[in-house]
Amino acid sequence: DADVTQTPRNRITKTGKRIMLECSQTKGHDRMYWYRQDPGLGLRLIYYSFDVKDINKGEISDGYSVSRQAQAKFSLSLESAIPNQTALYFCATSDFRDGYGYTFGSGTRLTVV
Amino acid sequence: DAKTTQPPSMDCAEGRAANLPCNHSTISGNEYVYWYRQIHSQGPQYIIHGLKNNETNEMASLIITEDRKSSTLILPHATLRDTAVYYCIVSNFNKFYFGSGTKLNVKP
């Protein structure tokens, strides 16, 4: 099983719908992150959480919300999806005690039509 | 905000060394230099990181200048499977900001 699992892998949704992307990890890491990637561009930080009671906005949090249900689970919600939220979404975890920075999930490809 | 500058693309012949530069002139004393790569649309993969000293692992070598304002990632014998986007990131362990990276094209 992957260390960081994202579900679903692919999703097509309609404008105005609420959608949740889920991330779970078996790394035992405290820190979790959500990134968005648009074609040909680097990753942009949406939200991050350093522990269960900690939630922080990243570069592009407007239109998104998150929930840290447990140490191992971090969900990203689009309350009312719009077409320009069509992108590839990545979840990541980190624990810099091991010195290796981030571990990324395989991504969720979201299309809003 | 991305704190690094990388060339948008580079070519390398298969079997030759690939040297990917990165400028990070505003790096702080407690910030590390990390390198990741992303193959197609997969999740980025850790390659190597360092603070001051040069580092080497089974994948690559990292050369950091004495003033720490720039670094070079070296893939000693590039293969076709090394074709990817390579990201140079500076971080003090809080969060990563990605730039656009360098698209490395390894050619036969």
The DSSP line for B46-98 is EEEEESSS-EE-SS-EEEE-TTSSEEEEEETT--GGG-EEEEEEEESSS----
pLDDT at A26 over 60: yes
Residues of B with CB below 8 A from A30's CB? none
Chain B nearest-CA residue for A33? B95
Compute and round to an integer the Cα radius of gyration of chain A: 13
pLDDT of residue A112: 97
pLDDT of residue A100: 62
Q: CA torsion, points B78, B80, B83, B88, in degrees to nearest 10? A: -20
Does any CB of chain B come closer than 8 Å to the CB of residue A80? Answer: no
Dist CA B23 CA B89 (whole Å): 10
Assigned token pair, B94: 């809080």
pLDDT one-digit tens code per residue, B54-100: 999 999 999 999 999 999 999 999 999 999 999 999 987 677 888 88
pLDDT of residue A42: 85
pLDDT one-digit tens code per residue, B13-49: 999 999 999 999 999 888 899 999 999 889 999 999 9
Q: Which helix (H) or strand (E) holds A33?
A: strand A31-37
pLDDT of residue B98: 84
pLDDT at B1 over 60: no
Angle at B34 between CA B39 and CA A70, to 5 degrees: 80
pLDDT of residue B3: 84
Does any CB of chain A come closer than 8 Å to the CB of residue B101? Answer: yes
Interstrand relation of B84-91 and B102-107 (parallel, antiparallel or unpaired) = antiparallel
Dist CA B83 CA B69 (whole Å): 26
Segment A17-29 shows an average pLDDT of 96
Q: Is B5 strand, coil or helix?
A: strand
Does any CB of chain A come closer than 8 Å to the CB of residue B91? Answer: yes
Convert A11-27 to b/e letters by CB count within 10 Å (16 or more is b).
bebeeeeebebbbbbeb
Angle at B42 between CA B39 and CA B108, to 5 degrees: 20
pLDDT of residue A53: 93
pLDDT one-digit tens code per residue, A73-82: 999 999 999 9
Q: How many CA atoms lie within 13 A of B104 on its CB side?
A: 29
